[in-house]
Amino acid sequence: MKKAIFLVAAALSLLVSAKAQNAPNPQSATVTVSSQIVGRTPALIGYNMGDNFPGSNVSNWLRYSEMNGARFWWPQPVWPDDPPRWNGGLAQFEAQRAQLGANPMAGLDWKAYEAKVGQHFKGIPAGTIGSVFSLSELRKMGVEVLVMLSRSTPKHPFNTADGAPDWFGRWTYWRGVYLNAFYLARTYDVQRFQLFNEPDHPAHIHIEQSDYLRRLQIGSDAVQAAINDVNRIDGKSLRAQISAPVSAGMIVFGPRQGRPDTRDAKTGWGELAMRHRRENFSGSSAANPELFQVYAFQSYGRSPARISKDLPKLRQLVAGANGGVALPLIVSEMNVSTAGDFSKKPETLDSAGYYDAFGAIAAAYVNAGIDEVYVFRLTQTDNLGNGQVKKNGTHIIDNRDPLKNITSSTRGAEAVRLFMRGFKGARARMAEPTVTGKDLHTAGARDEANGTSTLMVTNLGAARNVSLDLSAWKLPQGALTTVEEVSATHHGDVRMVLGLPLAGKMTLTMAAHSIALVTVRPTLSGTPRAVVPVAVEQGTLRALKPRAMKGRVMLALQATAHKTPLRVRVYGGTGDVAQADLLGQVVLQPQSAQAMVDVTRYVTAAGQKMVFQIVPDDARLDATAFSIGAAQLRVFEAFWQ
């Protein structure tokens, strides 16, 4: 008899209470999924990284996010020092490059370099891979890293005052890119790189297109030579994936309209990069057959319609400039607003019209076939010391804290987490679901490895009942079906859980301005046999007594917040408080109510001991802010046969 674990007792009460609280608009809507596979979901979905210092809690939040990609800015202070000055020309450049490539380990005092890197990143505690704690943590999580190797242009002039080529300046830049890329590829298997961020931005008005192109050519050659040498020396099989032009906008392929740029009056930045993609600079090596392999852009805004229109147009333009052959497309900075726009408004990523917009544009990117997505950014950093923070960061930190610990997350962060959970990993992308009713945005996918199917539904309008028709997916009756929600009253927790009905049809009551991720796991199905509550012990950590879980579980909380709604975090682990993982967050209402957290992905082995801890989201609150007792906090295990 096959057993799987499932929670059912709390599900019915949650569903009923949700209907009562949301007061849905009588105007209903329908969503009908398709069985047609039309492409793949994004291979990587991740964040532009903030700080992650040894001893901080950032890694815990990264694991909770379920990200599998990260964009990481390589800091300029750790670049290798410039080499001794020489006054030769191209021949000297070529000789220096050949000498370094023949023996990279002799080209730098690597011990001193790593010491400088480690000092910049606040130390190298035991267990760190290499000298960068943050990259070490990402590698342990299996996250693919895209490194921005941008360098201040005045540091390495490419021409002399009279306009002649400055080959020492060019060599210094090539050498710096090569040595950094060599270290990153060898230590962290980094193979994704960018070399210039938003060359079309007004901040870079001093960079002419010819200068940008030359830097792309020389930097690309250095990155690809470094990766080839790492493969040769260490027997690796890394493949350079350089992305360009990293433009400030999706459709800036041709000359910019409406906001003239004197540098691209005739040739747009995308057009420039594609036109010269296979042109090498003088003296280039065979390591540089193409300047870049991936087309990258950056885009901010809340309009899914714009994405649905412009991304296919961009794909067509790029392929047309590449002899009809498509290139992967990535958005290396994505958010519903820039920090500058947010600074002029009272709204935040907890505001309706902003956190829900994340779900709408995520669905648009999935349906349009984007290959990689990097949200900008992870944390709300200080805004140049003016007393404000950059509100497009999804996680909140205390900027006075030297460790930059994350203290809380916005609803926008939970919207991003559901996007990552439902669509990362190049899953089978289903044709866009058919929708009746306005203000609904949807996307569907299937993980072909385990058959799990996901449907994201975002409601940008009023509360309503939404009829879901999943019959085209031909999923088995009774398959474990969960609905996680982000809304005014839910913070990414499980709103509904049920066995999939025979016809594959169900009704979803959606709150106004909400996002729902529907997940159907066909490997977990059957008939409920038992529900077992687990005792609780009081104390500062409010921890459940250790017990051996027999398999996968869902955690149900029943607690009462005093006076105002209170968000609490759920942690779990094998008993070591310091190693507890963040499992989920729920909003407790002043009246008694149940809430659930899906912890199935954390309980990996039958008989594994788990200890759950419940703490208020705001650490300044004491235990009197809410009540938890043996009757209020329960873990339910239900067996299916």
User: Of 222 and 5, which is predicted with more confidence?
Assistant: 222
Domain 44-423, what architecture?
Answer: Alpha-Beta Barrel (3.20)
What pLDDT is recorded for position 597? 79
Residue 23 scores a pLDDT above 60: no
Angle between helices 167-188 and 110-120 (to 10 degrees): 70
Provide the residue ranges of all domains of the chain, joining segments of one domain with +.
9-41+427-521, 44-423, 547-636
Higher confidence at residue 439 or residue 384? 439
Cα gap 539→544, rounded to integer Å: 10
Whether residue 310 contacts residue 370, with contact meaning beta carbons closer than 8 Å, is answered with: no
Token pair listed for 40: 């793949």
Q: What is the pLDDT of residues 209-259, one digit of tens each?
A: 989 999 999 999 999 999 999 999 999 999 999 999 999 999 889 888 776
Over residues 78-103, the pLDDT tens digits come to 999 999 999 999 999 999 999 999 99
What's the confidence (pLDDT) of residue 528? 45
Q: Looking at the predicted structure, is the pLDDT value of residue 290 above 60?
A: yes
pLDDT band at 59 (very low <50, low <70, confident <90, very high): very high
Range with top average pLDDT, 156-170, 217-231, 385-399, 616-630: 217-231
State pLDDT tens for residues 454-512.
999 999 999 999 999 999 999 999 888 889 999 999 999 988 888 899 899 999 999 99
CA-only gyration radius of the chain, Å? 26
pLDDT in tens, 322-353: 999 999 999 999 999 999 999 999 999 999 99
Structural tokens at position 179: 């040595």
Strand-pair partners of 406: 397
Residues 289/278, Cβ–Cβ less than 8 Å = yes
371-395 average pLDDT score? 91
Half-sphere exposure of 522 (CA within 13 A, CB side): 17
Compare 96 and 607 and report the one with higher pLDDT.
96
Q: Is the pLDDT of residue 117 over 50?
A: yes
Q: What is the CATH number of domain 9-41+427-521?
A: 2.60.40.1180
CA separation for the pair 439, 29 (Å, rounded): 10
Residue 22 pLDDT: 45
Higher pLDDT, 529 or 210: 210
> Residue 578's pLDDT is what?
63
Q: Give backbone dihedrals phi and psi of 449, rounded to 5 degrees, phi first.
A: -70, -35
Q: How confident is the model at residue 289 (pLDDT cuts 50, 70, 90)?
A: confident
Check residue 255 and report its DSSP letter: S
Residue 627 pLDDT greater than 70, yes or no:
no
pLDDT at 203: 85
Predicted confidence (pLDDT) at residue 547 exceeds the cutoff of 60:
no
Average pLDDT over residues 307-315: 97
pLDDT of residue 630: 32
Q: Which of 492, 363, 398, 379 shows the shortest CA–CA distance to 62?
A: 379
Say which residue, 269 or 629, is predicted with more confidence: 269
Pick from 52-66, 147-161, 616-630 the range whose average pLDDT is largest.
52-66
Mean pLDDT over residues 296-306, rounded?
Answer: 97
DSSP of 455-480, one letter per residue?
Answer: EEEEE-SS-EEEEEE-GGG-PPTT-E
Evaluate whether 533 touches 634 at the Cβ level (below 8 Å): yes
Share of the chain above pLDDT 90, in %: 64
Checking if the pLDDT of 577 tops 90, the result is: no
Give the model's pLDDT for residue 522.
Answer: 86
Structure tokens at 74: 């390589």
Tell me the CA distances in angstroms from 414 to 167, 217, 374, 388, one per residue in order: 50, 40, 15, 23
pLDDT of residue 600: 65
Q: Give the pLDDT score at 343.
A: 92
pLDDT at 602: 58
- 357: nearest Cα among 396, 403, 298, 306: 306
Supply 527's token pair. Answer: 């008939």
